[in-house]
Amino acid sequence: EKRLNSLSNSSGQNTSSQICPSSSSYYSDPNESHAWSALSRNRTLHPRLDSGISSLLPSDSFKYLTWHEVEQDIRGSQLRCPRVREGPSTEELLFRQEECTWPAQKRVLEKNKWETWLQENWEDCTNLNLSFQDLGNPYQVANFHRILRRLIRVETLWLVDNSLVDLSAIRLPRCRVLNMNKNHLTSFKQLPKIPQIQHLSLAENHIESLTGLSSLWSTPLESLTLKRNPCEFHQNYRKRVFSCLPNLKMLDGILKLPEDSSPPETNIFSKICIVS
C-alpha cells in the first residue's frame, strides 16, 4: 500500500492497476482487450467446477466415493476427474467381510485350498479305508498323520499295509473298529489313543512283548488279533492276554475258552523239557 500510494502521489495518477500486466501490454487491439475483460467477468460471476466443466456429469454423485464403494457402472467418459485411488488393505477387507482384493492367482489358490478342504471333510467321516497307501516319503507320512488327526468322528478305520511305525500322537475318540494289519508296530505303546475301541486287529506286525497291553484295559475291547507277531509264541500267550484284558471275548478269531481264564502256571517244572 505504501508503494502504491507513493506511485500515486509521484505521478498524480492511481497506478494500482499496474500490479498485474495490463491488457494493453499483451493485447494491442482494443477489441481484444474488451473481450479479455468480459471473459474475466464471466469467470468471476460463473465459477467453474474443479475440473473446468460448468455442468454436472452423471458421476458427480460419486465424487467422494472410493473405487470399491461404487456400485453402479460408470464409463470413463463420464468421469469428471479420473484418478487412481488406493484401495483398502487386505486386513481391512477381511475385517469388513467384503470381497478379497488379492491377485487373481492367489485368489485361485485360496479357492482351490478351500474346495479341497470341503471335499476332504475328514471331520464328518465315520467309515474310512486308507489301506495300501505306499507311504514312502516323509511328506506323505506327515500328510497322512494330518488326516488321521482330523478323524474325530470315525468309527471304522482300516490302515492295512501302510508301513506305519508310531501313531501314539493320534487320537481317535470314537473309533470302535481299527485294522492295522501288516504295519511296522513294535509295541502296544505305539497305538493311537482309542478309548472306545471294540475290535482291534494288529496281525503281521513286529510286536515282541505284551508290555503295554494293559493300556487297553479300560476300553470296551471285545476282540483282538495278534497273529503273526513274535509275542504270539510266548509261553501262556493266551492266558496272559486274557489276564490283562478280562473283558476280552475273542483272541485271534477264537472265542475265550475256560482254560484261558485260569491264571498262568507258575510251576517251575512246567518249564522243563524232558527228552527221553
Q: Supply the pLDDT for residue 38.
A: 46
Please name the amino acid found at residue 33.
S
Q: Supply the pLDDT for residue 12.
A: 45
Q: Supply the pLDDT for residue 13.
A: 45
Q: Supply the pLDDT for residue 121.
A: 81
Q: Supply the pLDDT for residue 7.
A: 40
Residues of the chain with pLDDT under 70: 1-119, 263-276
Q: Supply the pLDDT for residue 87.
A: 61
Please name the amino acid found at residue 136.
G
- C-alpha span between 247 and 240 (Å, rounded): 13
Q: Supply the pLDDT for residue 239.
A: 94
- C-alpha span between 202 and 251 (Å, rounded): 11
Q: Supply the pLDDT for residue 261.
A: 82
Please give the C-alpha separations between residue 263 and each of 42, 188, 192, 268, in angstroms, as whole numbers. Answer: 117, 22, 29, 15
Q: Supply the pLDDT for residue 136.
A: 84
Q: Supply the pLDDT for residue 71.
A: 58
- C-alpha span between 152 and 158 (Å, rounded): 15
pTM across the whole model: 0.55
Q: Supply the pLDDT for residue 93.
A: 64
Cell 490302515 belongs to residue: 159
Q: Supply the pLDDT for residue 94.
A: 66
CATH architecture assigned to 128-271 = Alpha-Beta Horseshoe (3.80)
